[in-house]
């Protein structure tokens, strides 16, 4: 057994203790009002400095008396001064969070997990395929790549939702669409009033847009049904399992690989993931 | 240094000696119809003549429930809803009479709480660092014991600071670690005679010989993970299991926990509780999706984690052969049979 002394560290911060943050802004993202984004600001400058994250990582949002909930970080590390989390109202903690107002205090514990392999993306073309509200850490990734544009090859974004009112980050999406250094394809399932973009499912759009697999990576995040039908399309286009990157969700508590809840084969989604290549996932049971 | 001896009648004095300097001494005691490790009172005696305690002393370093943070819910207070760490300092503690299997389990818990995670677990660390293990070898292993399958044995010293052997009239005490040696030195106990050390060796050999042939679960490490996971074996194997979770509750190596908040009046708490992979709620997503939806997947998870996943990660099975799950399972599920089936 190692002892604390051998680790050569001074007072180690309790990894279960959240940083105190203030809700700076609440944004209702969807027309069903079930998804809100929370812009959080650290109370202490020191905490903000300590919270160094990469796109794809997540954090535990903490509301004392209710509990914690693991949520992907939707802001990019290049967007200084705040963190952005987009939360679907589903359980006890997320419901409590949805009832909170600007100015209120809460906690953030993280950053947790392994983010997207941005080093591997250097000089490569990256295709980002997202569906529904699983676009949170994809927003972070795209924004990060745009803020370091010269490091990456072509960037293609394919993002779909059932209807226009369910697309997240509309202003950001428009801004990306107006740029000439990124290729965006936003789609909805069926025709809708006021919608001039694409109509069709994400897998079909992916096939039509047909990103080239050479020197490329594809990130796929979305509902299981979208993933199920997008995978064969990517395979047909020539993407190998090592070029396809996904982000998993599992019920989690500790977020640091100890409590055992998110155990999937010999991996822990919280610490070994949540980002995995399809090649890695093919080697472990699909218990997620 | 040679071994020490404590006459059976002098055990009380020995324990009083251990309690000096404010040490807490945990020992097996009758507790609500079972035998559990509890802090001994002054002049209290541990129940050392039972085969093994109903629960391992895992709870000394990983309590079934423990508060991690406290907070006030009084909105008038400036620190309302601000989490404060529950202080972790405490006296040095000794676990007296821990069996060698349960001591090896502490080494497995060390891996989970101190090595497996992205960070060390501070709650476990603080309790573990101030805990000494004085183990009691098993003169007569039970029919459900299979420590020798998992790399242990009835007198194995791995994880112990001191090994105690019951010689009948006398307890033989042999130091294993430097900490154990220092503890025995400070207590100024009589030195054991060479014949007593010899008797201890003989008892240990007899105990080991009484246990029969060992099967080796390490063969499971060589098996293909996905093939084991997808094996048709699981289709039938889980059927008798009622998913009561008693196996995980009694297991000295099971370490899954849940974290929950609780509010009582103006006091708020965040704490953790033992959890179990046998319950559907453990993995249920907020969406309603459950990655382990039926008993089959949950049953498989318990055994795959212990025998395969943990072995792939750390080289050892997450089982010390204490036999509690075998002894107390209401459906007579026997992990030894699972080990044999998976090694086949």
- Chain B residues within 8 A of A105 when measuring between CB atoms: 81-82
pLDDT digits 0-9 by tens, A243-261: 999 999 999 999 999 999 9
Buried b vs exposed e over A7-42: b needs ≥16 C-beta within 10 Å?
Answer: eeeeeeebbbbbbbbebeebeebbeeebbbbbbbeb
Kindly report the number of other CB atoms within 10 A of residue B206's CB atom.
12
The closest CB to that of A285, out of B69, B85, B229, belongs to B229
Specify the domain boundaries for CATH 3.40.50.80 within chain A.
118-247
pLDDT of residue A13 exceeding 90: no
Instruction: Assess A223–B contact: CB distance below 8 Å, yes or no.
Output: no
Domain assignment of residue B244, yes or no:
yes
> Taking 80 as the threshold, does the pLDDT of residue A140 lie above it?
yes
Same domain for B176 and B317, yes or no, is no
* Distance of residue B256 Cα from the nearest chain A Cα, in angstroms: 5
Which pLDDT score is estimated for B75?
A: 87
pLDDT of residue B50: 87
DSSP 8-state secondary structure symbol assigned to residue A194:
T
Question: What pLDDT sits at residue B244?
Answer: 96
A28 touches chain B (CB under 8 A): no
Residue B102 and residue B250 in one domain: no
Residue of B nearest to A286 (CA): B291
Among the three residues B211, B230, B246, which one is the final residue of a domain in this structure?
B211
Domain range for B230:
218-261+273-343
In B264-303, the residues whose Cβ lies within 8 Å of chain A are 268, 270, 272, 275, 277, 282-287, 289, 291-292, 297, 301
Q: Would the pLDDT of B286 be above 80?
A: yes
Of the partner residues A1, A12, A112, the one whose CB lies closest to the CB of residue B122: A12
8 Å CB contact of A1 and B110: yes
Please report residues of A whose CB lies closer than 8 A to that of B122: 12, 14-16
**Nearest residue of chain B to residue A9 (CA atoms):** B120
Report chain A residues whose CB lies below 8 A from the CB of B261. 64-67
pLDDT at B156 over 60: yes
pLDDT band at A179 (very low <50, low <70, confident <90, very high): very high
CATH number of A118-247: 3.40.50.80
Interface test with B, best of A20, A254, A267, A282 (most B CBs within 10 A): A254
Q: State both tokens at B207.
A: 């105990």
Q: Which residues of A touch B81 (CB under 8 A)?
A: 64-65, 105
Residues B202, B281 within the same domain: no
Tell me the pLDDT tens digit for each residue of A88-110.
Answer: 999 999 999 999 999 999 999 99
Asked if pLDDT for residue A202 goes beyond 80, the answer is yes
The CATH H-level superfamily of A15-112 is Translation factors (2.40.30.10)
Q: Same domain for B187 and B226?
A: no
Q: Is residue A10's pLDDT more than 50?
A: no
Determine if the pTM surpasses 0.90: yes
Helix, strand, coil fractions of chain A, as percent rounded to 5 = 25, 30, 45
Q: What is the DSSP letter of A73?
A: B
- Asked whether residue B298 is assigned to any structural domain, the reply reads yes
- Report pLDDT digits (tens) over B219-244: 999 999 999 999 999 999 999 999 99
**For residue B72, which residues of chain A lie inside 8 Å, CB to CB?**
none
Both B239 and B178 in a single domain?
Answer: no
ipTM for the predicted complex comes to 0.93
* Mean of all residue pLDDT scores within chain A: 94
Question: Does A184 contact B at CB distance below 8 Å?
Answer: no
Please check whether residue A103 touches B, CB under 8 A: no
Q: What pLDDT score does A12 carry?
A: 65
Instruction: Identify whether B268 is part of a domain.
Output: no
Same domain, B162 and B279: no
Please state, in angstroms and rounded to a whole number, the distance separating the CA atoms of residues B165 and B151. Answer: 20
Please determine, for residue A5, whether its predicted confidence score (pLDDT) is greater than 80. no
Confidence of residue A73 (pLDDT cuts 50, 70, 90): very high
- What does the mean pLDDT of chain B come to? 95
Nearest to B297 among A12, A259, A287 (CB): A287
Q: What is the dihedral of CA A185, A189, A191, A197, to 10 degrees?
A: -10
Encoded tokens for A35? 């998804």
Judgement on whether residues B202 and B223 belong to the same structural domain of the protein: no
Q: Say whether A253 and B68 touch across the interface (CB within 8 A).
A: no
Q: Between A and B, how many CB-CB pairs are < 8 A?
A: 140
Report yes or no on B148 lying in a domain: yes
User: Are B185 and B241 within one domain?
Assistant: no
Pairing of strands B190-191, B170-175: unpaired
Identify whether residues B182 and B244 lie together within a single domain: no
Same domain membership, residue B173 and residue B115: yes
Domain count, chain B: 2
How near does any CA of chain A get to the CA of B91, in Å?
A: 17
Nearest-by-CA chain B residue for A12: B122
Whether residues A258 and B116 touch (CB distance < 8 A) is answered with yes
Residue B176 belongs to a domain: yes
d(CA B265, CA A73): 34
pLDDT at residue A9 in the model: 45
Asked if the model's pLDDT at residue B252 lies above 70, the reply is yes
Same domain for B227 and B187: no
Distance from CA of A145 to the nearest CA of B (A): 27
Condensed to tens digits (0 to 9), the pLDDT of residues B88-108 reads: 999 999 999 999 999 999 999
In this structure, is residue B267 part of a structural domain?
A: no
Considering the domain architecture, whether residues B302 and B154 belong to the same structural domain is answered as: no
B chain contacts of residue A12, beta-carbon cutoff 8 Å: 119-120, 122
* Residue at a domain's end among B211, B227, B243: B211
Predicted confidence at residue A30, as pLDDT, reads 96
């Amino acid at each position: 057994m190692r002892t604390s002394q051998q680790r050569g560290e001074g007072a180690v911060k309790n990894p279960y203790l959240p940083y105190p943050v203030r809700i700076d802004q609440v944004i209702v993202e969807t027309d069903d009002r079930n998804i809100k984004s929370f812009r959080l600001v650290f109370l202490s400058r020191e905490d903000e400095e300590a919270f160094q994250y990469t796109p794809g990582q997540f954090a535990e949002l903490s509301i004392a008396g209710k509990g914690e909930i693991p949520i992907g970080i939707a802001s990019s590390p290049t967007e200084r001064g705040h963190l952005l989390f987009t939360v679907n109202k589903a359980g006890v903690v997320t419901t409590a969070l949805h009832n909170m107002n600007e100015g209120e205090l809460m906690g953030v514990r993280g950053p947790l997990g392994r983010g997207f392999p941005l080093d591997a993306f250097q000089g490569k073309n990256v295709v980002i395929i997202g569906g529904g509200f699983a676009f949170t850490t994809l927003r972070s990734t795209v924004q990060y790549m745009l803020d370091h544009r010269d490091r990456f090859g072509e960037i293609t974004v394919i993002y779909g939702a059932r209807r226009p009112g369910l697309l997240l980050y509309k202003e950001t999406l428009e801004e990306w669409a107006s740029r000439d250094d990124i290729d965006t394809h936003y789609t909805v399932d069926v025709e809708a009033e006021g919608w001039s973009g694409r109509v069709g499912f994400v897998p079909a759009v992916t096939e039509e847009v047909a990103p080239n697999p050479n020197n490329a990576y594809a990130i796929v995040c979305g509902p299981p049904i979208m993933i199920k039908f997008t995978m064969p399309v990517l395979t047909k286009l020539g993407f190998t399992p090592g070029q396809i990157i996904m982000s998993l969700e599992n019920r989690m508590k500790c977020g640091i690989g100890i409590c055992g809840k998110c155990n999937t084969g010999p991996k822990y989604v919280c610490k070994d993931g949540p980002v995995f290549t399809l090649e890695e996932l093919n080697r472990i049971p699909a218990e997620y | 240094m040679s071994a020490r001896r404590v006459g059976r009648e002098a055990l009380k004095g020995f324990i009083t000696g251990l309690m000096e300097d404010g040490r807490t001494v945990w020992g097996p005691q009758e507790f609500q119809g079972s035998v559990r490790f509890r802090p001994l009172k002054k002049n209290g005696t541990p129940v050392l003549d039972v085969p093994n305690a109903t629960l391992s002393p895992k709870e000394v370093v990983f309590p079934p429930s423990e508060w991690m943070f406290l907070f006030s819910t009084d909105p008038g207070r400036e620190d309302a809803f601000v989490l404060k760490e529950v202080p972790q300092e405490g006296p040095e503690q000794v676990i007296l009479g821990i069996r060698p299997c349960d001591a090896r389990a502490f080494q497995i818990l060390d891996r989970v709480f101190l090595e497996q995670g992205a960070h060390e677990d501070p709650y476990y660390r603080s309790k573990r660092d101030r805990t000494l293990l004085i183990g009691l070898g098993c003169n007569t292993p039970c029919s459900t014991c299979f420590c020798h399958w998992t790399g242990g044995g009835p007198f194995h010293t791995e994880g112990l600071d001191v090994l105690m052997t019951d010689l009948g009239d006398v307890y033989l005490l042999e130091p294993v670690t430097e900490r154990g040696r220092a503890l025995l030195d400070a207590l100024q106990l009589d030195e054991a005679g060479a014949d007593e050390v010899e008797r201890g060796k003989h008892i240990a050999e007899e105990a080991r010989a009484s246990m029969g042939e060992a099967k080796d679960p390490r063969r499971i490490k060589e098996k293909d993970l996905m093939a084991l996971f997808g094996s048709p074996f699981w289709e039938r194997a889980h059927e008798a299991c009622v998913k009561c979770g008693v196996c995980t509750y009694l297991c000295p190596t099971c370490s899954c926990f849940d974290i929950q908040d609780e509010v009582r009046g103006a006091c708020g708490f965040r704490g953790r509780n033992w959890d179990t992979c046998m319950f559907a709620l453990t993995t249920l997503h907020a969406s309603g999706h459950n990655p382990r939806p039926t008993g089959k997947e949950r049953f498989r998870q318990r055994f795959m984690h212990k025998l395969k996943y943990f072995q792939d990660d750390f080289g050892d099975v997450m089982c010390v052969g204490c036999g509690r799950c075998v002894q107390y399972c209401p459906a007579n599920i026997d992990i030894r049979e699972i080990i044999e089936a998976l090694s086949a």
